[in-house]
Structure 1
Amino acid sequence: MTGARRGGFLGCGDRVRFRGDYFTVLRVSGTLVVLGDDSMRTPEQAVRLSELQSDPDFTVLGAATSARVPASSWLVGLPKDVMQQARWWERHVLEVIRGVADDPVDAGPKPQYDVALTTMVARERAKADELTASGYLTSARTVRRQRQRYEAQGLAGLVDGRHRARHPSTASRADQKVIAALRAAIDETVDASTRTVSYLIWRAGQLLVQEHGDQAPPMPPRSTCYRLVAQLSDKHTTGSARTRRSLAGQPDKPFSHLPVDAPGEVVQIDTTPLDVLVLLPNGIVGRVELTGMIDVATRTVTAAVLTPTTKAVDASVLLARSVTPEPMRPGWVDALRMAYSVLPHRRLLAVDERLEHAAARPVIIPDTIVCDQGKVFISNNFRSSCRFLGISFQPTHPASGANKPHVERLFASVGTLFAQFVSGFVGRSAEHRGFRVDQQPLWTMLELQALLDEWLIAGWQNRPHDGLRDPQTPGRAFTPNEKYAALVEAAGYVPVAMTADDYIELLPATWRRVSAGGLKINNRTYDSAVLNPIRRQPSGIASRRDLWEIHYDPYDVAHVWVRDHRPNSASRWLQATWKHLSRAPIPFGELAWNHVRAGLGPKPDETAVADAVHRLLAKANNGPPQPALSARDRRVAARTAATSENRPVPRQHPPAPEPDTDEPQPGKVIPLRVFDPAEEARRPW
């Protein structure tokens, strides 16, 4: 073919720049290129084509097109007539550049476009004359401009400018002092309440006066200020305060990935309110808090507890429960047993016999615990528990939820996969709350805890997670139990669950005397035959006034454990049982006991307290109650009951006959009887 040679080809006679010098291509043989020095100071040299092209200084001099491939992805979706107009211009521009429009094989270029006989300026003038003669009025300057755009941007340069992708205008034309003031006003909204754009404009004007005084420039027109605020901020500046604070806390640099190769290498713990209304142990409708721990390597929820309020001891108890096997509960199907799951049950059973009747949740011993700056987790009690187990304690930066994303995502998943299916779901905020949610059948806190435990075993542990994918086969997502089984084989991880004594060590402690009737904790009496050797005996610890160390579970007050401080006892634990356990055989929490005890007077009888707690728990275990009365009805009923108890019952009289006329009739006067003491003395009694 004749015409201009397109870029991307290297042939004989081409001049190239290579390693800082200029050469002429003499021959091309296969992958070898023979170069001749223009200065004739060096002999010919043969260079491999790959070596020539990999040199950063390599350039083909006089290439017809740009080396960069123009971007054309945004052309998809443009109107059909716009694309037809651009391709029409492309055909004429190519004829100006190469001499031919469609690059035919047999036909040659027209005489006025022959690149060997004409110049670029002459071809541009000839194309303008041709288009004008055909009815499309144009000039050589327009043809030159279209040719330059095509060489720089490809087909996208020939698209009508009214349809090109427009970038939002910047604030470069505005006064930089005004821009700085607007940025400062926007930055102040991170921790403040949400306000409107008009307030931001007013605040920016105040900052300008404070910063520059009389030299402060005037604020632009109101419409311009609105456009500047829209360019300098996002929709959350005047939107959700929660989202605004969350985005402000994210780091400016890319998120790093923490590699974990074994279960328990990194465990994250946190607390959040659960978006479900429940019946609290005191019978009041309210919300509870969810405290959970998740293993990063396997996404296993090692423990999750619902509490009305999170105390300092809750984190330690949660840690104790996470390192012990999860027992099967009455009513759970056999499919939830570890023996029927993908977990290596036989291998783990050889290590710990307690796993024979355990549920399908792996026991994971944390190596590092990541938590926030909450008082629950940075308390001395929780830190001492971590030191006791040899766990590294790693608190995050203040207000940095991005440092523990897995547990934050766990709470969001619990809300969408579990909480929204529970009766009494209130939504994530007030604007998502339904009407009279508190009048729905509500679960008790104990029942909801049982539902959550069963869902974690059945649903969460057997649900494929997007973060648990095989790097070699990313299309396959694993469940937490499958990931745990794979890591046990790959990392050689063999968990050794904590013993019962280790579990008791993590429970909160108190100090009491052991009398002839046992010991008391919050007016509860605990006793057992194993306490006989230490009754009315000093513990021998003078710093504790010879009291005995007692550990208890705040979520289960059925038993307490007394440490035997006597010599040659190896500090073994003595278990004492609550004296009235037969009256309330179901474990209940410390808050329920305190509420019932407070409602029975200053010095309640222990038997009455046990009966009251038994009635309270029996009512809670009867299932969701029927819809209760409204708040107004409850107030009216309570007021009526309170006034009717002390009000004397009026004596009932037969109703008087109604008069025949509408005129008021005088009532019958009944005179009082005169008291006669002599007559009273004669009356028989």
Structure 2
Amino acid sequence: MTGKRRVPPTARIAEFPETAAEQARWWERHILEVLDGLPPDAAEGAKPRPEFDPKQHSLAQRERAKAAELTAAGHRMSPSGIKQRRQRYQRDGLVGLVDGRSAKQMPAFGHVDPAVVEAMQQAIAETADASSRTIGFIIWRTKQILADCETAAVELPSRATLYRLFDKLAAGTHATGSARTRRSINARPSGPFGEVPASAPGELMQIDSTPLDVLVRLDDGIAENVELTAMVDIATRSITAAVLRPTTKAADASALLARSVTPEAMRPGWSDALRMSRSVLPHRRLLSIDERLEHAAARPVIVPETIVCDHGKVFVSHNFRASCRYLGINLQPAHKATPTDKGTIEKTLGSVATLFAQFVAGCTGSTTDRRGRRLEDGRLWSLP
């Protein structure tokens, strides 16, 4: 046996079914014994069996011996068959021993005509902004698209095959599910995406408004939902300010800016544990900058440099833009219908609306099918 055994690369074997790969490894053991006299797992210092010793027998003799051994073991094989496998192994490595029938991969959509696949993909794409419909409608629309094509007649597969094709093409699209979820998925950027990094407080902040899933008793005695508007700092993940209003107006958004840049004074009845002096914030150093922090609550005071908002009329209003210009803040509207541009505040407000609101009297749930009965007749909080 020579000490320069060269085992061909095996990386591509992972592309084939496990059963085919196992069979190829079984053949590799025998072929290596024919080539070098020893199987791949032979112990160090082991000697070849006499009939496979390269010093005593030629390659052709070793191939005949291996064919006889396998045939006696119940695997009918000729010397020429061993030779062919040995040559494929030397040329292609372990992949050369894979059964050729295993290498034939079925197309992604079976034997379905590509025109049918393309038509169904178009039908599914049309549901992005439409109302939700059933699979039956998607199949009907697919047939209609094919009928309108000027190409030659396309043979349609069976209805069961069309249903299976829909399951493959519509995976993850919610084509027949929630229209709201479908629009959200369609608005996501294609390919890998992430957020703009922020390394300092105020460098990048996000603002948004959302209905709070809680009924509130207003001053006139009527129970109504209210809106929560909040601003979050990306670097520290701090909610610097938030307001609750029956309907958010431009003045409320401007007030949010004022709250973010000014300390919040302690109120009567608040625990001393809420004082900034009792928090992890560097109170003594901050006190030398602003004396108002002496009696301030433990809420971060952050001056925004850039604020990302959506195109809601509150945030694109003249009032809010003027407030940002006065404070030297760069206002950056997000792309339309792209909530991923301000994903942090979207997730923050969504968490408040679900995780917090469920503990508050008058919780309505996010949709009508989650809402209880006669909530407006129960005990509700006032807006303050």
TM-score w.r.t. structure 2 length? 0.84
Question: 1:133: Cα distance to partner?
Answer: 0.9
Question: 1:438: Cα distance to partner?
Answer: 4.9
Residue 224 (str. 1) matches residue 164 (str. 2): no
Helix, strand or coil at the partner of 2:46: coil
Residue 66 (str. 1) matches residue 9 (str. 2): yes
Task: Please identify, of 185-194 and 414-423, the stretch whose mean Cα deviation from structure 2 is larger.
Answer: 414-423
Instruction: Write the distance in 1 (CA, Å) between the matches of 2:9 and 2:2.
Output: 18
Q: Name whichever structure is richer in helix by fraction.
A: 2
Within-5 A mapping of 1:297-336: 297-336=235-274
1:4–1:99 contact (8 Å) kept in structure 2: no
Match of 1:389 among 309, 327, 346: 327
Question: 1:137: Cα distance to partner?
Answer: 4.5
Helix, strand or coil at the partner of 1:304: strand
| Aligned length, in residue pairs | 376
Residue 369 (str. 1) matches residue 311 (str. 2): no
Instruction: Write the distance in 2 (CA, Å) between the matches of 1:218 and 1:328.
Output: 76
Question: 1:216: Cα distance to partner?
Answer: 4.5
1:133: which partner in 2?
72
Helix, strand or coil at the partner of 2:150: helix
Within-5 A mapping of 1:137-176: 137=76, 141=81, 148=89, 151-152=93-94, 169-171=107-109, 173-176=111-114
CA change 1:351–1:83 in 2 (3 A) is same
Question: 1:266: Cα distance to partner?
Answer: 0.9
Helix, strand or coil at the partner of 1:205: helix
Instruction: Write the distance in 2 (CA, Å) between the matches of 1:240 and 1:316.
Output: 35
- Identity fraction in percent: 52
Instruction: Write the distance in 2 (CA, Å) between the matches of 1:219 and 1:154.
Output: 38
CA change 1:111–1:382 in 2 (3 A) is same
2:38–2:47 contact (8 Å) kept in structure 1: yes
Helix, strand or coil at the partner of 1:327: coil
1:267–1:295 contact (8 Å) kept in structure 2: yes
CA change 1:373–1:152 in 2 (3 A) is farther
CA change 1:105–1:346 in 2 (3 A) is closer
Match of 1:118 among 40, 43, 58: 58
Instruction: Write the distance in 2 (CA, Å) between the matches of 1:298 and 1:282.
Output: 40
Instruction: Write the distance in 1 (CA, Å) between the matches of 2:191 and 2:202.
Output: 28
1:182–1:201 contact (8 Å) kept in structure 2: yes
Helix, strand or coil at the partner of 2:149: helix
Helix, strand or coil at the partner of 1:186: helix
Match of 1:180 among 112, 118, 131: 118
Question: 1:394: Cα distance to partner?
Answer: 0.8
User: For the aligned residues, what is the CA RMSD?
Assistant: 3.5
Within-5 A mapping of 1:614-633: none
CA change 1:438–1:138 in 2 (3 A) is farther
Read off the aligned partner of 1:152 and give its amino acid letter. Answer: L
Instruction: Write the distance in 2 (CA, Å) between the matches of 1:420 and 1:211.
Output: 53
1:286: which partner in 2?
224
Instruction: Write the distance in 2 (CA, Å) between the matches of 1:90 and 1:178.
Output: 43
CA change 1:169–1:419 in 2 (3 A) is farther
1:269–1:291 contact (8 Å) kept in structure 2: yes
Instruction: Write the distance in 1 (CA, Å) between the matches of 2:225 and 2:63.
Output: 78
Question: 1:347: Cα distance to partner?
Answer: 0.9
CA change 1:277–1:106 in 2 (3 A) is same
1:245: which partner in 2?
183
Residue 98 (str. 1) matches residue 36 (str. 2): yes
Within-5 A mapping of 1:24-35: none
Deviations 1:449-505 (A, max 9, x none): xxxxxxxxxxxxxxxxxxxxxxxxxxxxxxxxxxxxxxxxxxxxxxxxxxxxxxxxx
Deviations 1:372-405 (A, max 9, x none): 1111111111111111111111101100011111
Read off the aligned partner of 1:5 and give its amino acid letter. Answer: K
Question: 1:356: Cα distance to partner?
Answer: 1.0
1:4–1:115 contact (8 Å) kept in structure 2: no
2:138: which partner in 1?
200
Higher relative contact order (CA 8 A, sep 6+): 2
Question: 1:410: Cα distance to partner?
Answer: 1.0
Instruction: Write the distance in 2 (CA, Å) between the matches of 1:142 and 1:392.
Output: 75
Helix, strand or coil at the partner of 2:302: coil
Question: 1:353: Cα distance to partner?
Answer: 1.0
2:297: which partner in 1?
359
1:267–1:293 contact (8 Å) kept in structure 2: yes
1:272–1:289 contact (8 Å) kept in structure 2: yes
Q: Rg bigger for which structure?
A: 1
Read off the aligned partner of 2:58 and give its amino acid letter. Answer: T
1:278–1:444 contact (8 Å) kept in structure 2: yes
Question: 1:65: Cα distance to partner?
Answer: 1.0
2:226–2:246 contact (8 Å) kept in structure 1: yes
CA change 1:338–1:253 in 2 (3 A) is same
2:13–2:21 contact (8 Å) kept in structure 1: no
2:310–2:336 contact (8 Å) kept in structure 1: yes
Question: 1:237: Cα distance to partner?
Answer: 1.7
Within-5 A mapping of 1:144-543: 148=89, 151-152=93-94, 169-171=107-109, 173-212=111-150, 215-235=152-172, 236-434=174-372, 437-438=375-376, 441-446=379-384
Helix, strand or coil at the partner of 1:376: coil
Within-5 A mapping of 1:30-69: 64-66=7-9, 68=11
Read off the aligned partner of 2:9 and give its amino acid letter. Answer: S
Question: 1:202: Cα distance to partner?
Answer: 0.7
CA change 1:85–1:288 in 2 (3 A) is same
1:264–1:368 contact (8 Å) kept in structure 2: yes
Instruction: Write the distance in 1 (CA, Å) between the matches of 2:105 and 2:284.
Output: 63
1:337–1:358 contact (8 Å) kept in structure 2: yes
Question: 1:319: Cα distance to partner?
Answer: 1.6
Read off the aligned partner of 1:132 and give its amino acid letter. Answer: T
1:124–1:144 contact (8 Å) kept in structure 2: no
2:132–2:176 contact (8 Å) kept in structure 1: yes
Helix, strand or coil at the partner of 1:306: strand
CA change 1:388–1:131 in 2 (3 A) is same
2:4: which partner in 1?
5
Read off the aligned partner of 1:226 and give its amino acid letter. Answer: Y
- Structure 1 unaligned runs (5+)? 8-63, 447-685
Helix, strand or coil at the partner of 2:269: coil
1:630: which partner in 2?
none
1:295–1:301 contact (8 Å) kept in structure 2: yes
Instruction: Write the distance in 1 (CA, Å) between the matches of 2:34 and 2:211.
Output: 71
- Structure 2 unaligned runs (5+)? none
1:651: which partner in 2?
none
Deviations 1:276-324 (A, max 9, x none): 2332333233322111101111111111111221223221122222221
Instruction: Write the distance in 1 (CA, Å) between the matches of 2:10 and 2:76.
Output: 33
Instruction: Write the distance in 1 (CA, Å) between the matches of 2:45 and 2:36.
Output: 15
TM-score w.r.t. structure 1 length? 0.49
Helix, strand or coil at the partner of 2:138: helix
1:683: which partner in 2?
none
CA change 1:342–1:168 in 2 (3 A) is farther
CA change 1:69–1:208 in 2 (3 A) is closer
CA change 1:312–1:106 in 2 (3 A) is closer
1:600: which partner in 2?
none
Instruction: Write the distance in 2 (CA, Å) between the matches of 1:90 and 1:438.
Output: 77
1:100–1:108 contact (8 Å) kept in structure 2: yes
